[in-house]
Chains A and B, each alone.
Chain A
Amino acid sequence: MDTLPRWADVILIPVINLVLALLVSGLVVLYIGENPIEAIKILLNGAIGSTRGWGYTLYFATNFIFTGLAVSIAFHARLFNIGGEGQAAIGGLGVALVSLSINWPHWAVALPFAIIGGAVFGAAWAAIPAYLQARRGSHIVITTIMFNFIASALLVYLLVNVMKVPGSMAPETAAFPKGTNLPNAYQVLGWFGIPFNKFAPLNIAFLLALVCCVGVWALIWRTRLGYQLRAYGHSESAAVYAGISPFRITMIAMLISGGLAGLMGINAVMGEAERLVIDSVQGAGFVGIAVALMGRSHPLGVFLAAVLFGILTQGGIELEFEIPAVSREMILVIQALVILFTGALENMVRAPVERLFQRRKKRSS
């Protein structure tokens, strides 16, 4: 199978897929009577043309990194965790409970506890499907999807009946105490004298996401646990031969996966909204699946794919604003095309490129 050089596998094919997706998207824009060149200009300008654009793009990317890493690590153990959405939502609940628990003196004190809260809640939400898979053989794809709905319903119940501010009409918690407000990019970069947009939601959770990328990389390729996890993912029968417990690996992989998804709450709940609102995840759990697929479950790939989806999300919002004919649904179509080409249709491009390389190799030999 190793017919392609690594650079072609990692860079060339994703780029070709992306270009194809954009071409088809261009046709769609053309079809509704707008200028595709103009549209892509607005999209890119809105996403990366200003510090405000970057601030939003990387904020979205941060969400996608957490959920993308969550899906990736489960992938390595051949577990398809579709439950990132629910795990992130419950993780957000954990972050909110920690933030509201006491009057935190300083964000640096609150952050470690909020991280634990988000990770533990996310992991706990993943633990039930993991247990059902490991002990009862209930398929994890089905159970995690079901747990997304349960999480969503649970949050609605809690926010409407339990955690709502008395007398308020909005189904959301009270604003978190000031001592939990994370510094945003404007503040952090300000320490170094770098100007940045004051209102963009990018905050230090982005750095946490980068740390998680490195951590996941080290975990998968440098630790004994990662070794066992990959072994189990490649061959369950061989893992059993080697004395690796499928139950243990399934549980651990899903707990880490759920924990990473739960950390998304640090960015979206603690960093941005500064309160728990209904649907704080906004589909990032599902985008995480596309990000993991496109990033081939490698933390660096996940990072790059997350930034790409951040650009599409932020640029799409700008596009919708600038060209009213390009509606919210149209943006979804474009994002879906990218997912379609980079994820599902990946092999469509792979086969011809492989043939091309083989022919070239033959000619040179």
Chain B
Amino acid sequence: MATQKTEGRPHTAALSAEPAIELVGISKAFGPVQANKDISIRVMPGTIHGIIGENGAGKSTLMSILYGFYKADAGEVFIRGQKTEIPDSQAAIAAGIGMVFQHFKLVENFSVLENVVLGAESGARLMPSLSKARKLLIELAREYELNVDPDALIEDIGVGMQQRVEILKALYRQADILILDEPTGVLTPAEADHLFRILEGLKAQGKTIILITHKLREIMEVTDTVSVMRRGEMTATVKTAETSPEQLAELMVGRKVLLRVDKKPAQPAATVLDVQNLSVTDEDGVQRLKDISLNVRAGEILGIAGVAGNGQSELLNVLGGIMPGTGRVELNGESIDLTGKFSDGQSRRERGIAHVPEDRQRLGLIMDFAAWENTIFGYHHDPAYQRSSLFMNNDAIRAETALKMQRFDVRPPDPQLKAKSFSGGNQQKIVLAREIERNPDLLLVGQPTRGVDIGAIEFIHQQIVALRDQGKAILLVSVELDEIMSLSDRIAVMFDGHIMGERLPSETDEKELGMMMAGMGEGA
């Protein structure tokens, strides 16, 4: 059991109901960076309280303080009116706080039941805990739509299910304050809706929920109150019903933000990319793409919508030369080698295909390389970067990188900084700068704004539209339906390796696309 000091409650006890959590004057610095500055917040019991802010605004730091991972430099924490010290996560659990992390902390080869009990066994013998947990799980399932098979292994269930297991873990430890950190990042729209129904159910039972997110739509959809953070400060706390997405975005970024993409109608010209009967089988022998045909013309954006894992990644990878495939792919009327000697990333770039990969940290960047080394990655054979046949011209590359960073507003604009030192949005800008500035005929873009903050999203969307307006062909893959709807000139929906059909954004809606993403509709 953890230390839990309690004292009398000071002056703030004015309101009728006592807050479930009250933070007063929390500050936390990491070296010169002030992650939290004098933050005060009160979360009322039985509500869903949203905390919204850009990446790096200090949301996670604040919650880590509440969960005992960090110690605040200053400030006090009150739980249900009691001043509480939270030196570690055991103390947080004892105080009734449960946390669902962005990256789940589950043992892959344990069953659901074993994971729920792990660390909270009631004795040396496992069976009593397990049967107690089983009973509880069945109860919870009935109450909150938290259906999970208690005996399934974690590695066999989907992410949506895994997240429910995390919630069950917290509830099993009798948490009545639940913190969820970016819970929908890995979920499909349907799974996210299900999660929100679960949260509503928990709220109805009197639980208090703190939802950390950078997605405005979620805040508007489920929260009662929302607090906005910017650069370590709490800029506002408002009733959700009394605010609007535009106002919240402005509070987050500190300036007016265009939530819609401003673009002229497309003026498609000749076909640039023509894909006929493309199929891909991965290393495990699973067929990922099944006889796909599509085309992209110059000056248009073809958006590929779909739930992650339905073949979109493979489509990008085959076109980008990372994976072999079978079928026929033509670029500007000339066929492309899909299996042989010229089916690698180098040959694709020479043909004028640029690729902003879905996973910039694993594919698009070398995280331990400096920015200047990353801005030539994949184009390092370009004679412009060589001093002689043997040596690279590092000075010229650094100078060029400084210019690129300026044009793409990468912050901080320091070519010597390692890629891993930049925020997600700035990392993405480095990749975009590299690929767009090569002036490609075809740009493949995967998840251009995943993990990118609102201010940068606007900029990235503008760059993609600007490239389109220069008459380039763009193939966009995104799991964010909003993004697909607002950027694309045509939308193709993928499900289980098939193209379910194509729609014009003006003639469809999220509901129809959602049905197609779930495999219902024409085609299949």
Q: Which of B93-101, B113-121, B344-352, B405-413 contacts A (4 or more CB under 8 A)?
A: B344-352
**B362–A242 touching, CB < 8 Å:** no
**A242–B377 touching, CB < 8 Å:** yes
Contact mask B355-378 → A, CB, 8 Å, 1/0?
A: 101000011111111000100011
**A238–B394 touching, CB < 8 Å:** no
With A224-B386, A243-B345, A365-B32 as known contacts, state yes or no: A237 contacts B363, CB within 8 Å: yes
CA distance A218 to B365 in the complex (A): 23
Interface size class of B (residues with CB under 8 A): 20 to 34
Q: How many A-B residue pairs have CB under 8 A?
A: 70
Q: Is A191 among interface residues, defined by CB-CB distance under 8 A?
A: no
Q: Is A228 among interface residues, defined by CB-CB distance under 8 A?
A: yes
Q: Is B321 among interface residues, defined by CB-CB distance under 8 A?
A: yes
Q: Is A50 among interface residues, defined by CB-CB distance under 8 A?
A: no
Q: Which of B344, B365, B386 contacts A238 (CB 8 A)?
A: B365
A244: chain B residues at CB < 8 Å are 345-346
With A241-B357, A243-B349 as known contacts, state yes or no: A231 contacts B394, CB within 8 Å: no
CA distance A231 to B369 in the complex (A): 8
With A242-B377, A243-B321 as known contacts, state yes or no: A234 contacts B390, CB within 8 Å: no
Q: Is A6 among interface residues, defined by CB-CB distance under 8 A?
A: no
Q: Which of A223, A227, A238 contacts B363 (CB 8 A)?
A: A238
With A222-B392, A358-B31, A365-B32 as known contacts, state yes or no: A242 contacts B373, CB within 8 Å: no
B421: chain A residues at CB < 8 Å are 2
With A235-B362, A237-B363, A243-B378 as known contacts, state yes or no: A223 contacts B320, CB within 8 Å: no
Q: Is A240 among interface residues, defined by CB-CB distance under 8 A?
A: yes
CA distance A230 to B369 in the complex (A): 9
* Number of residues of chain A lying within 8 A (CB) of chain B: 23
Q: Is B380 among interface residues, defined by CB-CB distance under 8 A?
A: yes
A230: chain B residues at CB < 8 Å are 366, 369
Q: Which of A222, A231, A361 contacts B366 (CB 8 A)?
A: A231
How many whole Å from A364's CB to the nearest CB in chain B?
10
**B392–A223 touching, CB < 8 Å:** yes
Q: Which of A218, A240, A365 contacts B322 (CB 8 A)?
A: A240
**B322–A241 touching, CB < 8 Å:** yes
With A224-B386, A243-B348 as known contacts, state yes or no: A234 contacts B368, CB within 8 Å: yes
A240: chain B residues at CB < 8 Å are 322, 344-345, 363
How many whole Å from A238's CB to the nearest CB in chain B?
5
CA distance A276 to B421 in the complex (A): 52
B418: chain A residues at CB < 8 Å are 2
How many whole Å from A360's CB to the nearest CB in chain B?
11
**B366–A234 touching, CB < 8 Å:** yes
B322: chain A residues at CB < 8 Å are 240-241
**B386–A241 touching, CB < 8 Å:** no
CA distance A240 to B381 in the complex (A): 15
**A222–B31 touching, CB < 8 Å:** no
**A238–B321 touching, CB < 8 Å:** no
Contact mask A232-254 → B, CB, 8 Å, 1/0?
A: 00110110111111000000000
Kindly report which residue of chain A lies nearest to residue B373, judged by CB atoms. A227
A136: chain B residues at CB < 8 Å are none
How many whole Å from B62's CB to the nearest CB in chain A?
20
A218: chain B residues at CB < 8 Å are 391
CA distance A228 to B362 in the complex (A): 16
CB within 8 Å of A: which B280-335 residues: 320-322
Q: Which of A238, A245, A361, A362 contacts B377 (CB 8 A)?
A: A238
**B392–A234 touching, CB < 8 Å:** no
How many whole Å from A226's CB to the nearest CB in chain B?
9
**A362–B349 touching, CB < 8 Å:** no
**A235–B345 touching, CB < 8 Å:** no
B346: chain A residues at CB < 8 Å are 242-244
CA distance A365 to B390 in the complex (A): 45
B31: chain A residues at CB < 8 Å are 358, 361-362, 365
**B390–A242 touching, CB < 8 Å:** no
Kindly report which residue of chain A lies nearest to residue B417, judged by CB atoms. A2
**B345–A242 touching, CB < 8 Å:** yes
**A238–B362 touching, CB < 8 Å:** yes
With A218-B391, A365-B32 as known contacts, state yes or no: A245 contacts B380, CB within 8 Å: no
Kindly report which residue of chain A lies nearest to residue B323, judged by CB atoms. A240
B320: chain A residues at CB < 8 Å are 241
**A227–B368 touching, CB < 8 Å:** no
How many whole Å from A1's CB to the nearest CB in chain B?
8
A237: chain B residues at CB < 8 Å are 362-363
How many whole Å from B291's CB to the nearest CB in chain A?
25
Contact mask A188-205 → B, CB, 8 Å, 1/0?
A: 000000000000000000
B362: chain A residues at CB < 8 Å are 235, 237-238
**B32–A241 touching, CB < 8 Å:** no
How many whole Å from A80's CB to the nearest CB in chain B?
18
**A224–B368 touching, CB < 8 Å:** no
With A223-B392, A227-B380 as known contacts, state yes or no: A243 contacts B344, CB within 8 Å: yes
List 11 A-B pairs, Cβ < 8 Å. Answer: A218-B391, A222-B394, A224-B386, A227-B380, A231-B369, A238-B366, A240-B344, A241-B355, A242-B345, A243-B321, A243-B349
Binding site for B on A (CB under 8 A): 2, 218, 222-224, 227-228, 230-231, 234-235, 237-238, 240-245, 358, 361-362, 365
Taking A2-B418, A243-B348 as known contacts, 18 extra A-B pairs with beta carbons closer than 8 A to each other, sorted by chain A number, are A223-B391, A224-B386, A224-B392, A230-B366, A230-B369, A231-B369, A231-B377, A235-B367, A237-B363, A238-B365, A240-B363, A241-B322, A241-B355, A241-B364, A243-B321, A244-B345, A244-B346, A361-B31
Binding site for A on B (CB under 8 A): 31-32, 320-322, 344-349, 355, 357, 362-369, 373, 377-378, 380-381, 386, 390-392, 394, 418, 421
Closest 9 CB pairs of A and B: A243-B346, A243-B345, A242-B378, A241-B363, A243-B344, A234-B366, A234-B368, A222-B391, A237-B362
